[in-house]
Structure 1
Amino acid sequence: MYKIKSAEKFLWDGIDLEGKKVLEGGTSWGNTTDLIAKKVRENQWSTELISIDIDDSHFEEIEERLQNDFKSLSLRRGDLSNLDFIDDQSIDVIICNYTLSSVDQFPMRALSALKEFYRVLKPGGDLLITEEMPIWSVDSTSYPYWSKRLRIIKSISVLRGMSYFNEIHPKDLEVSLITTGFKDIIWNEFTEKINAERATKFLDKRKQTLIKGSDDLENKKVNDGLTELTEELVKEFSGTEEFSAPGYVLRGRK
């Protein structure tokens, strides 16, 4: 869903994956996997990649598309807060793009993931994280689709008693990393581009959950209102290829 454009130089500055074992936290559709593969091809690196996601529905197509780009490619279904199948100090670089907010939909679980990242990284290993800014920390009028979409998704999730993504401010993430043991932490904010079609599909999926399911509030006006807001937003941005979103890249070292 996400395209790392303006942040790419900061993300990759000084990173060399030659002969390295890389852990990707959060495979999803394979956007970051594609980005890593592109860098490996461009630099002719011999790189091992382990990519982990709680949802393995895209693994087959990703493996078919990218398996020849790496020395080895392992796609594993798993929870980033419990990487018990990865040995201590066995990973050179961890890349975790737009995933911690998903892990943190269960409050404090992102901290468990950071502890696991620290455990599996070799001393001197690099941690690269890309995330969206929390909606409360930016001027939402600068990002109209992003802001409206997030508010609708979160509102539907709360109404349905469902978990939802919790974006982490880089200052708070920095404190969490220091507490975990990471050092040399730096971060920069960026405006990024998000694939509008995939983002809209996710929004429509939340709407279908609202329509098809039942809830103990049983308020038809609220349900109809959120459904109407969703459909209006989808119509407003129909035909749009991508939209802007506020994000940041944070780097740290073990």
Structure 2
Amino acid sequence: MYKIVTADRFLWEGINLEGKIILEGGTSWGNTTRLIAKKVSENNWNTELISVDIDDSHFNEIEKDIQPVFKKLNLRRGDLSDLYFIPSNSIDVVICNYTLSSVEQFPLRVMKTLKEFYRVLKTEGQLLVTEEMPIWSVDSKDYTYWSKRLRIIKSISILKAMATFNEIHPSDLEEGLNIIGFKNIHWREFNEKINAEMAVKFLDKKKQNLIKGSNDLENENLTRGFVDLTEKLVKKFEETKEFLAPAYILKANK
């Protein structure tokens, strides 16, 4: 979802996409898709990209922007936990940025997704994952904006009986990958710079869900209270261009 800025060097260290078939897990607004396209263009790589997301509403815009960069581009609507349309042992590199926490809205579904990544990867194929650190694993005082935004989003989701994101600690993700059979697993924590405008966009979307959604709790005070919290935080975001969030990048091989 977010643009990777701080850890860009570590993400691409040792990665060569020449002649490779890439699977991007989670297209979203196309931030990572465009980042991949930029790297392919800069290095003049001959690369194929398959990008999969459960929501295809941004596909046309993304394809228009980057299609000429790739030897072949396939934007596919689908569930990452069931990549039936991708043959086994056919992918060289899987890139999954800020997506697994969304998959884990449904407990243990991330394991099904990781098994699918393992299945479609060629032997020695690479997995690159970027994720936010769980709020309980960091001092929220060091990440005021990030912490408040995350808690408001999760609370709105719970109030409206919607699934909520579940961030995965890298040590837990590492254990899951070990169980599936991945090897050479290593990860690094870093402070990510989050674009405030993008954060506002996502937060406002949640606010609209709160206002328009059903109110089965039948408590308008709760709705008004969270709308007020959201709007106050949005105003704080408008005073800055970016803010820090704790994240990590994990790499592994099949």
Question: TM-score per shorter chain, which class?
Answer: over 0.9
SS in structure 2 at match of 1:189: strand
In the other structure, the counterpart of 1:237 is 237
**1:163 to 2:163 alignment:** yes
Tell me, in whole angstroms, the C-alpha distance in 1 between the residues paired with 2:214 and 2:88.
Answer: 45
Correspondence 1:69-108 to 2 at 5 A:
69-108=69-108
The aligned runs of 1:190-201 (5 Å cut-off) are 190-201=190-201
Corresponding residue number in structure 1 for 2:211: 211
CA offset at residue 217 of structure 1? 1.6
How far is the alpha carbon of 1:214 from its aligned partner? 2.6
Cα distance in structure 2, aligned partners of 1:71 and 1:145: 40
Offset at residue 125 of structure 1 (A): 0.2
Alignment of 1:1-254 (within 5 A): 1-254=1-254
Distance 1:39 1:119 in 2: 26
CA distance in 1, matches of 2:73, 2:216: 45
Listed as ranges, the gaps of 5+ residues in structure 2 are none
1:239 CA drift (Å):
4.4
| Deviation digits for residues 138-195 of structure 1 (CA, Å, limit 9, x no counterpart) | 1111111111011001011111111011110000000000001100000000111122
Instruction: Report the secondary structure of 1:141's partner residue.
Output: helix
> Counterpart of 1:86 in 2: which secondary structure?
coil
Shift of 1:221: 2.3
Matches of 1:24 and 1:209 in 2, distance apart?
27
- Note the aligned Cα RMSD (angstroms): 1.1
Q: Which amino acid aligns with 1:62?
A: I
C-alpha separation between the residues in 1 aligned to 2:222 and 2:67?
A: 47
Measure the CA separation in 2 of the matches of 1:37 and 1:205. Answer: 27
* Matched letter for residue 193 of structure 1: K
Superposed CA offset, 1:55-108 (max 9, x none): 111111111111111111110000100000000000000000000011111111
- Deviation digits for residues 120-145 of structure 1 (CA, Å, limit 9, x no counterpart): 00000000000000011111111111
SS of the residue aligned with 1:2? coil
Aligned-pair distance for 1:198?
Answer: 2.1
What is the letter of the counterpart of residue 113 of structure 1? T
Counterpart of 1:20, as a letter, is K
Cα distance in structure 1, aligned partners of 2:186 and 2:143: 25
Letter of the 1:170 partner, please give it: P
Identity of aligned residues (%): 69
Query: In 1, are the aligned partners of 2:197 and 2:237 still within 8 Å (CA)?
Result: no
Shift of 1:19: 0.6
Aligned residues: 254
* TM-score relative to the length of structure 1: 0.97
- Could you tell me how far apart the structure 1 residues matched to 2:45 and 2:205 are? 39
1:218 deviates by 1.4
Partner deviation per Cα, 1:1-31 (whole Å, 9 max, x = no partner) = 4121221111111111111101000111111
The whole-number CA distance in structure 2 between the counterparts of 1:58 and 1:43 is 26
- Structure 1: which 5+ residue stretches go unaligned? none
In 2, Cα distance between equivalents of 1:58 and 1:239: 28
In 2, Cα distance between equivalents of 1:159 and 1:2: 25
Alignment partners' CA distance in 1, 2:212 and 2:128:
39
